[in-house]
Structure 1
Amino acid sequence: MGVRGVRADVPVVETSGHGELPVGALGYLQRTIVALLRPAPEPVLGVRIRLTRLPDPAVTHPMVAQANVDLGGRLLRVQVTAGTAAEAADLLAARLRRRLEQAHTDRYRHSRGEGRDAPGTQQGPGARVSRRKSYRLATCSVDEALAEMEGCDYDFHLFTEAGSGQDSVLYRDVAGPRLAQLHPQPDQVAPHTATVSISGHPAPPLTTEQAIDRLGLSGLPFLFYRDEDSHRGHLLYRRYDGRYGVIAPAG
């Protein structure tokens, strides 16, 4: 990742802790993240850091660390779980470093005119959807979907859950991985070893424009919804350029 010089003025907008945390844990987390961001290749406009210790003694990785970074107007969000606060801070820094490197690569490719969306892909008023992806969803278990999500460092993963046959999305929540389904069938979900919570709320039936309006009001990074035309699960997400992308099943 290219470096334009050290910036000592990285703003930490919010550093918060929840649960029983070791003495000095928040300070170490903040110093680790700020040190990583000082040589960032673009201005860091804001940072929100959070460290949570989950109260359930049965959870093997009770520490949850999150960082939300405004990098030159692009929002980067990373989250990790770990056994200790120090490990969580180190893992969060490593994951954020990869995101920064990817953001720098994307910016470089964009400046060279590479990787731009093909003409005609923008849809709706103001062309707010700038990228659409359509592919045949993999049919797999929650464990397999989680491995794919973690291996590729995704915030979410759209797939067909093997047991229920439902269009589903697995994503990172503050308490750990969470599964949302088109029509929730928790009792039909295939056996898995990962600790994953399952939402009981069905995906709302929406058009793309309605989904954009709802996502804009929520402030969340993505929205899983049932497309009114195809009746399949679609995923609307925020892009670094302020517009939106849509992931949809093919076939």
Structure 2
Amino acid sequence: MLDVEIEPFLSAVLVVVSAAAAYYLSFLTLSGAVAGLATGGMVALGFGFPGLVLMGAFFISSSVLSKLKVNKKRRHFEKNLHEKGSTRDWKQVAANGGIAAAAAGVGAFVTGDDIWAIIYMISLASATADTWASELGPLSKGDPVSIRGFAKVPPGTSGAVSFAGTLASFAGSMMIALLSSFLFHPGMAPVILVTLAGFSGSLIDTWLGAYIQALYRCGACGIHTEKRKHCKSSTRLVRGFSWLDNDAVNFFSGFGAVLFGIILLMVF
């Protein structure tokens, strides 16, 4: 264990160096790096060095996977035209780390109840599960299947599933759960809880993406896209809610995973 007098200093250094390195390596935009500093600072206050290591595991693994075979994924995403690329801005940081930062803040300033540590773990497990699925699923050989109509769709399509993506999702959630056990010593029961709740977040994300996430159609070329503009002109909303973009879906799926985890905790 780290010395209690040294840990705050090391935590502060880790937060600053990590944000700077992420910006330098183009994992984060400038706004994303600033948001990362704020998120990391809150986590350091609430859960100290172990909490930062757990968040680092999510961020580093997700960032590395986002750069894996980036040219192949870019070709897929050009067909489906995702709204954002692999360099994360402040909205993406908030969508994936906002609940975790809030849990750390409540744990630090309001109450030290263990439930906030569980919420922290679940939120990161959900974010990791969804990100691993999004980054590894498009690399599978076969096309994924949309849960809306069960037809094959291009890789990277929101609301679609594949065997590789589902396996990656479960593996990402389990990785965070096992690392949580090592860092926080919660026992095996919370490991199972965090794994299942985190995996549920990816499933919720898929459902939201298939049914109510904003989807637009380009009037010029007819392609379906998550972008509000394409072919240098405004697109038309054909499904979902205009305010429910990919960042909002990520946030609500994480929130749903936390609620599911709390229900499991209460029942079992």
User: Taking structure 2 as the reference length, what is the TM-score of the superposition?
Assistant: 0.34
The structure that is helix-richer by fraction is 2
The structure that is strand-richer by fraction is 1
User: Taking structure 1 as the reference length, what is the TM-score of the superposition?
Assistant: 0.35
